[in-house]
Amino acid sequence: MANPKILIIPGSTRTGSHNVKLAALAAKELTLTDIEVTRISLADYELPIYDADLDARAGQPANALRLKQMIMAHHGVFIASPEYSASVTPVLKNAIDWVSRVREKGDPTYAAFKGRVFAIASASPGRSGGLRSLIALRQILELGCGALVIPEQVAIPNAPQAFDDMENIADTGLANAFRGELERLVEMARLMM
Ligand SMILES: Cc1cc2nc3c(=O)[nH]c(=O)nc-3n(C[C@H](O)[C@H](O)[C@H](O)COP(=O)(O)O)c2cc1C
């Protein structure tokens, strides 16, 4: 049976980001099970703050189109993103807003968010692991963009201490939940092929 393609997007571009680490771990786990993975950085898709006048005047920036096409080339998308002010990071929200406006010929609305499945996770130095950002991100993806987001999600608390020397999640329960989330993502992405 052919395997689905999974895109991994960290919602942080910070040097030393815990969520980039979590994204890298997702890529490692998926690659070990022979899944084709693409891991990107939103730093490579620099975008102006969404501005409807700019959109009307100049259309969507090339990077919004590139990011939309990158998402559409995959059956599943895994997003690991920090919590900022009890919500998602500006870089992630801005990217989603721009991508949500891109419509190529024949596209339905929110094309990048349809026909594929999303999974979300977060890591934070705080005790809740960024849980509130997952609630916000789920709302944006599901209610805002019509995406299918699997119910499994993992929030990693105490992020600076959460990873061991091999960059794996140190806590066995959380590590198993993370693996379970990835397995479910692949299972659902397979249905999108
Ligand atoms: C503007 C700002 C707001 C933040 N708000 C929260 C928050 O509401 N909850 C939380 O757990 N951490 C919050 N943090 C801390 C981040 O979780 C922490 O900086 C984390 O390391 C960022 O993720 P990263 O390591 O992947 O870049 C905030 C950080 C910044 C810069």
Other Cβ atoms closer than 10 A to 57: 8
Task: Give the nearest ligand 1 atom to 86 CA.
Answer: 8
List, for residues 32-64, the tens digit of each pLDDT value. Answer: 999 999 999 999 999 999 999 999 999 999 999
Mean pLDDT, each 10-residue run in order, the chain (193 residues): 94 98 98 96 98 96 98 98 98 98 95 98 98 98 98 98 98 98 98 96
Distance spanning both ends of the chain, measured CA to CA: 11
Q: Hey, which of 88, 124, 128, 132 would you mutate to test ligand 1's pocket, going by the most ligand atoms within 8 Å of its Cβ?
A: 124
pLDDT, position 1:
72
Give the residue whose CA is nearest to atom 4 of ligand 1.
84
Q: Report percent pLDDT > 70 for the chain.
A: 100
Instruction: Please give all residues whose beta carbon lies within 6 A of any atom in ligand 1, as ranges.
Output: 12, 14, 17-19, 82-86, 124-126, 130
| Closest by CA position to 181, among listed 164, 165, 166, 169 | 169
pLDDT, position 2:
83
